[in-house]
Each structure stands twice: as structure tokens, then as C-alpha cells.
Chains A and B, each alone.
Chain A
């Protein structure tokens, strides 16, 4: 299995909702990443997990809460989001942290009303 999967593909939520994005890989990769991508912009790194520990948090607001339950799964919990948080959220994984090719999932298109 050489792919990263993400669910859901699309998500519409209100500002008071709580939802979660899910990411899974079965390539044995030990680093997983969350990126946010706004329209016509490059992806921006949000979080990096290495060996199931949070390694990088790029000053992301606390309304985004990552979780890595095991080496194959990565979640992003969403609470009290703002309309400006609407974006494509991409998950990626790499063999390990630093200097390795990252493989991207298909993304979740999030709309916050």
C-alpha cells in the first residue's frame, strides 16, 4: 500500500461545531504532517509528528488540535473555527523526519460557515 488516505473529502461546518479530519498511511512511515492550503497559494505546514510525538507546531491557533493515536493514524480535531479557516487540508507522510520525500493524501476540502 503506497498511499495516504484522508477522510472526509469534503466537510462543511458551522463555527460552533466540533469535527475531526482523519489521515491514514500503511507505508510504515514514522513522520506525518498536516498542511493547510488556501486557494492559489502553496501549502503551509501546520504540524509534524515524528514517531508519534509532536515535533513541530507552526504557531497554529488552539482551535486546531492534532492527535497521533498510532504510527499509521493522524487526526486533526477542529473546534470553534472561523470562516477564514476554510481551506484544503493536506496530510502527508515520510519515512522519517527530515530529508525524506513526503507523500501527500488527497486532502479534505473544509468550508466553515
Chain B
């Protein structure tokens, strides 16, 4: 069974702190995506990770992919309030499935 597990599901942080969101998946894939969703809004693409060892950074967010461990991380550095949102990882199994399997999402709240 294809499973994608994110943790934590809820994360309350103080501004200026660092934290990591984890995304584990059950079956081999070398394509993983991170999305951000603000309340009532659509999904905004953050990172596309397409190979083992891929690391991408944008501002205070950095994502990495370890396909051997079936693990991706989203690291937040010096959090600011504007980062408050729900973050989803999604694994692409391609082939005959050809669709994304989403994690349950991590709701991040950054407080002053």
C-alpha cells in the first residue's frame, strides 16, 4: 500500500526558531514535491525534488530528499509569521498510477 506520513501534523513555533518537518513514504519513488496551502486557498508549489540527495532552498525553507531512506525533510530556519500555513509533501509514483499521494499535511503556526 502506498503511504505517505508527515510529522508533526501540528507545529507551533516561535519566531526566530528552527524546526524540521519530516515526510516518510512507503514505496520507492524518486520524485517528491512540497506544497504550501494558506487557509481557503489553493496549493502553491514550493519544491520539486527529483533525485536522491536533492537539496533545494528558497528563503527560510530548505528541502531535501533521501530516496534510500524514503525520507524528505523541510527545514525552517529563523521562522517568521508569514510562514504560517499548512505544508504538504506529495510523492509521485508515476507510471500506471501517475498521481500524487499526499501526506496529511503539517499545520505550522509561527507566533511572535
* A residues in contact (CB < 8 Å) with B: 31, 33, 40-43, 45, 48, 50, 55-56, 88, 90, 97-107, 109
Known interface pairs A99-B31, A101-B33; 18 further A-B residue pairs with C-beta atoms within 8 A, sorted by A's residue number:
A31-B98, A40-B107, A43-B102, A45-B100, A48-B99, A56-B98, A90-B42, A90-B43, A97-B98, A98-B95, A98-B96, A99-B94, A99-B95, A100-B92, A101-B48, A102-B100, A103-B45, A107-B42
Which residues in B have their C-beta under 8 angstroms from that of A31?
98
Q: Is the CB of B98 within 8 A of A99?
A: yes
Residue B40 interfacial (CB < 8 Å)? yes
* B residues in contact (CB < 8 Å) with A: 31, 33, 35, 40-45, 48, 88, 92, 94-100, 102-105, 107
What's the nearest-Cβ distance from chain B to residue A76, in Å? 16
Identify whether the interface residues of B are mostly helix, strand, loop, or mixed. Answer: loop
Cα separation A103 to B105 with both chains bound (whole Å): 18
Cα separation A47 to B76 with both chains bound (whole Å): 34
Cα separation A98 to B31 with both chains bound (whole Å): 10
What's the nearest-Cβ distance from chain B to residue A80, in Å? 26
Q: Is the CB of A106 within 8 A of B42?
A: yes
Which residues in A have their C-beta under 8 angstroms from that of B33?
101-102
With contacts A90-B42, A99-B92 known, is A42 near B98, CB below 8 A?
Answer: no
Cα separation A33 to B97 with both chains bound (whole Å): 13
Which residues in B have their C-beta under 8 angstroms from that of A97?
98
Which residues in B have their C-beta under 8 angstroms from that of A48?
98-99
Which residues in A have their C-beta under 8 angstroms from that of B103?
42
